Amino acid sequence: MSKGTLFVCPTPIGNLEDITLRTLRTLKEVDLIAAEDTRRTIKLLNHYKIKKPLTSYHEHNKWEKGEVLLKKLKNGEDIGLVSDAGMPGISDPGEELIKSSIEENIEVEVLPGPTASITALILSGLPTDKFVFEGFLPSNKKDRIKELERLRNEKRTMIIYESPYRLVNMLKDIKEVLGNRQISISRELTKVYEETFRGTVEEGIKKFKDQKKGEFVIIVEGGEIEEENPFEKISIKDHIRMYIEQGFSKKEAVKKVALERKLPKNQVYKESIEL
C-alpha cells in the first residue's frame, strides 16, 4: 500500500477571500483535515461548502494526535493540515507533524498562501531585502530581555509576533534594549479593523497603551550597519608611514592613526618606535 500525502494548506489570516483555488480543491480532495482550531476551521469549510472529516491537532495534543495522523498517512490516507490562520508550521504545532512526516518518508506538499509575517513586513516600509523572523518572544520579562539582548546587534529587519495583553510591555522592553528605533505595528491584518502604525517605539507605546484586542505583528528596524574602516586593510606601521611620507611628524602621524583606527595612542606609538 502506498503512503498518503500531507498537504500543508494555508488559510486566510482574516478575509475569507484570501484563499487559493488550489487550497480549496485540495481540502475537498483529502481524506481528513487536521485543524489547530476545529471551531474556526469549520466556519471556513462551511463558507466554501466543503464537507470533510475534521480532527483537532493543536499544541496540547500534538504528540499523541501526531502519532495517530502519521499512522493514517502510512495507511495511504491524504491529510490536509491547517492552522488557526495563515501558513501551518510557522509558530504553531504543524511544525512537528511536518518534521515527523519527512522523517517517515511521507510526502509533504506545501501550498503557497497567506502569512501574517510577510504581509506585515511588506506593509511596514522598512527594508525587506534581509530580515529575520523571531515569532513570539518569551512571556517572562527576564527571558524576553535576554532574547532582545541577543538581537541588539542584529542588522536585519526583525519580525515579532505579540498578543494584545503583552504588546506595551514588549515595546517598553524593545526601547530599553534596542533603543527608540523605527517600527511598524500591524493589527488585525486583512480584517475589517485592519490597522498599521509606523513610527518610533515611544510613539507606539503611546498609541497602543489602552489596546486590548487584536493580533499584532511588530516589525523592528535593524541596527545600523557599521561602515568598513578603509585602514583596516593595512598594518598600523604602514598607516603611520603613509602620513610621515605625506609630511606629518611621527607624533602627528601617531595621533591621526590612533583616531582613525579608534585605538589607544600608546598602542599605536609602540608600532612607530622602529620607524
Residue 253 confidence (pLDDT): 82
94-118: b or e for each residue (b if 16 or more CB lie within 10 Å)? Answer: beebbebbeeeebebeebebbbbbb
Low-confidence ranges of the chain (pLDDT < 50): none
Residue 273 confidence (pLDDT): 80
Report the C-alpha gap between 185 and 162 in whole angstroms: 10
Residue 262 confidence (pLDDT): 80
The answer to whether 20 and 112 are in contact (CB under 8 A) is yes
**C-alpha count within 13 angstroms, C-beta hemisphere, residue 4:** 20
204-226: b or e for each residue (b if 16 or more CB lie within 10 Å)? Answer: bbeebeeeeebbbbbbbbbbeee
Report the C-alpha gap between 179 and 221 in whole angstroms: 10
H-helix segments, the chain: 21-29, 38-47, 62-74, 94-103, 116-124, 141-150, 167-178, 201-207, 236-245, 250-261, 265-272
What's this model's pTM, rounded to 2 decimal places?
Answer: 0.77
Residue 229 confidence (pLDDT): 64
Tally helices (H) and strands (E) across the chain: 11, 10
Residue 227 confidence (pLDDT): 60
Report the C-alpha gap between 32 and 13 in whole angstroms: 22
Other CB atoms within 10 Å distance of the CB of residue 139: 13
Report the C-alpha gap between 260 and 252 in whole angstroms: 12
pLDDT tens-digit map of 204-213: 999 998 877 8
Q: What is the largest CA-CA distance in the chain?
A: 87
